[in-house]
A and B are shown apart, each in its own frame.
Chain A
Amino acid sequence: KAGVTQTPRYLIKTRGQQVTLSCSPISGHRSVSWYQQTPGQGLQFLFEYFSETQRNKGNFPGRFSGRQFSNSRSEMNVSTLELGDSALYLCASSLVGTTSEQFFGPGTRLTVL
């Protein structure tokens, strides 16, 4: 079974631009969560989607948004990029049920100049 895939793997943007990152979950997984990883703050939860609905949201500004499609694929968007948004953005998928382990993709490395 293929793992979680994320595109693109690397991205360079300038301040003020916006960016869209994509995540395809493991086949059969219906829940997708997004995390930001930085050296200073570590791994921080952004939001979780299930059945095209945001179920949970972390403590990030409104510039960070996401959505999920009917095939469980998810996108996250960051508008008006700031230097501090440079990070590894990770997507994790999980089954909804008894175990609910989260499986992470390789991430998208975003650099904001």
Chain B
Amino acid sequence: QQQVKQSPQSLIVQKGGISIINCAYENTAFDYFPWYQQFPGKGPALLIAIRPDVSEKKEGRFTISFNKSAKQFSLHIMDSQPGDSATYFCAASQYHGGSQGNLIFGKGTKLSVKP
């Protein structure tokens, strides 16, 4: 049973536009929500992460919005650039024993930013 649902599966945005990717989770025990960016042939790279005691976190052009009551979180990429074209994964995990080891990933969103 998929515990993290991600949408859309693919996204095309014009350069300078806003890219929005959404995720929903089921397990209310999750307490860590990272976003990863993956380019072809590379491993996922940690982009930004949030914990449920915060409703929004911004790092540069990337913002996570978190809605605990709705069990949803989203990634906003402002001023999208062609270099942002990649696959984005949301994930969730539950802290235990000093580690967030068991990341549950969404299925990914392939973002294409058109020049």
> Interface residues, chain A, CB within 8 Å of chain B?
4, 31, 33, 35, 42-45, 48, 50, 55-56, 58, 90, 92, 94, 96-97, 100-107
> Interface residues, chain B, CB within 8 Å of chain A?
32, 34, 36, 41-46, 49, 89, 91, 95-108
Query: In whole angstroms, how far apart are the Cα atoms of A56 and B104 in the complex?
Result: 13
Query: In whole angstroms, how far apart are the Cα atoms of A101 and B103 in the complex?
Result: 10
8 closest residue pairs by CB, A with B: A48-B101, A104-B43, A43-B105, A100-B100, A96-B98, A42-B107, A104-B44, A106-B43
Contact A107:B43 (CB < 8 A) given known A43-B89, A45-B104: yes
B102 touches A48 (CB 8 A): yes
Contact A106:B42 (CB < 8 A) given known A33-B103, A43-B105, A58-B102: yes
Q: Nearest chain B CB to A65's CB is how many angstroms away?
A: 17
